[in-house]
Chain A
Amino acid sequence: MASDPAIGVLALQGDYAAHARTLSACGVEVREVRKPVQLAELDGLVLPGGETTALLKIMENTGMEEALVAFHAGGGALFGTCAGMILLAGKVCSPAQRSLGLVDIDVERNAYGRQIDSFESVAEWLAPDLAGEDGETSLPLVFIRAPRLVRSGKDVQPLARCRGDVVLARQGRVLVASFHPEMSSDLRVHRFFLKLARQKNKGRLSPAGP
């Protein structure tokens, strides 16, 4: 299909294969991205779950951080889950570490505790955009040593809540989740991201756009 967006998944470390499987189930072909040059021609990129201290170290030598900022500036859509959300955040605490600052949120790492505190739940509130075709308003949530979104700026749109916290949010073409939609068989969150990525895809076909 001509309007299929070109989607990549950052494959430095983490559950990138699970994201690739979920995106395949959405009917999209996925490219693994390990070097900045592989971002060319992509409309959207998924930053998977993993360990952010390791991811930051691995990105140091390849210039990947600068490349991701440039990818965003060039109209690319980004979707970060768990560690991916931490990388995209404006500010990170517990402990403090650098981040890309592509979404105006503050994030606390491992905020719900250690592995023994990892939990499964369902969304207490879900934005209408995410409701299923059958009107399904609940969404399964898998939290693994999860971060918590502790502050979001005025341009950030909350999309789901659990335990009183925003667990899914969007700012422009950036989507972040503190849980792992790739660990459940529900495709709605990934489909929502594909919609964001298609916006760049459209822009590419008609360069006259803003």
Chain B
Amino acid sequence: MNESTKKSMAGADGNGRPAATLRLKTGLAEMLKGGVIMDVTVADQAKIAEDAGAVAVMALERVPSDIRKDGGVARMSDISKIREIMKCVSIPVMAKVRIGHFAEAQILQALGVDYIDESEVLTPADESHHVDKHAFKVPFVCGARDLGEALRRIGEGACMIRTKGEAGSGNIVEAVRHMRTVMGHIRRLTILGDEELMTEARELGAPFELVRMVARSGSLPVPNFAAGGIATPADASLMMQLGAESIFVGSGIFKSSDPANRARAIVEATTHYQDPEILVKVSEQLTEAMPGLDIRAMDEKDLMQTRGI
């Protein structure tokens, strides 16, 4: 990307729009807290998600479990599909780009989507580099499995972090592992002395300034959401209790037997995550969840979480 393109993307553009500040970029993520963001492929699904109480929808070509099943290259969704989704709902619309594919991101920004997910669920376009997210006015979310990965993405300009989990598996175990790892790392940083932080930054492979910031505040400098394998209201409650501030649900809704009711139940479970009586009520009406996969029985090459670290 050349310098003039960069400037025109992040700064004041031809329409007289001012530059996007970090406050505006993380601000939208703040508004999504305590809510559920749902994967959708077409406008009809987006409407179902909005009616069920989703705080945002994520447009993608195929839900992760179908990407897993069908194979091939998974790319940014069709523009016409995203446009239809944007027309059909009043909540924010996010869309996924391939890791490192800054041209897809430029297209989504020009289209006016509200958030971009540079996602391991799609087939990576660059195996060594992520998108320079500072160069964009639209905020980005990225997946992470540990604190080093989270801080590298934040260093590149991500304004929201989510666990990677293992998308399309219907299995919560990886999201739990990733959330516990990130939270554990953060807690550890808070008890280190200042003289220990540089070594820690080197070991995490993370920018020193961000490591110091986390050590002082005891939290990530951007919102921290959960994704990858959430299929039930109980899964949503578990992730919220482990420290997630919001929930992404991918295949869990539209691969279940009754998407509208499951979507609604997961929304209520996310609000009332500490209230088991409400969790009983929202869970008991549900029919079958999506089928799940045993991660330990999977081939290393089939894992999405190892892409773009």
Contacts and interface: CB of A to CB of B under 8 A. Distances in A.
B252 interface: no
Interface of A: 11-18, 34, 49-51, 53-54, 57-58, 61, 82-83, 94-95, 109-110, 114-120, 142, 144-145, 180, 183
Given A53-B90, A109-B90, A145-B114, A119 B18 contact: yes
B137 interface: yes
B55 A51 contact: yes
Contact of B90 (A11, A17, A95): A95
Interface stretch (B29-37, B141-149, B181-189, B297-305): B29-37
Interface of B: 17-18, 20-21, 23-24, 27-28, 30-36, 50-56, 90-92, 109, 112-115, 137-139, 264, 267-268, 270-272, 275
Contacts of B275: 34
B115 to A, nearest CB: 7
Contacts of A11: 34
Which of B51, B53, B112, B138 lies at the interface centre, i.e. has the most chain A CB atoms within 10 A of its CB?
Answer: B53
Contacts of A117: 17
9 contacts: A13-B34, A51-B32, A53-B90, A109-B90, A116-B17, A116-B114, A120-B24, A144-B31, A145-B28
A110 B267 contact: no
Contacts of B114: 114-116, 145
Which has the most chain B C-beta neighbours within 10 Å: A94, A118, A183?
A: A118
Nearest to B35: A13
A57 B33 contact: no
Contacts of A18: 30
Given A57-B52, A61-B268, A119-B18, A16 B28 contact: no
Given A53-B51, A116-B20, A144-B24, 12 more contacts: A14-B33, A16-B33, A50-B34, A50-B55, A54-B267, A57-B267, A114-B112, A115-B28, A115-B92, A117-B17, A118-B28, A119-B24
B23 A51 contact: no
Given A58-B268, A110-B90, A118-B27, A53 B34 contact: no
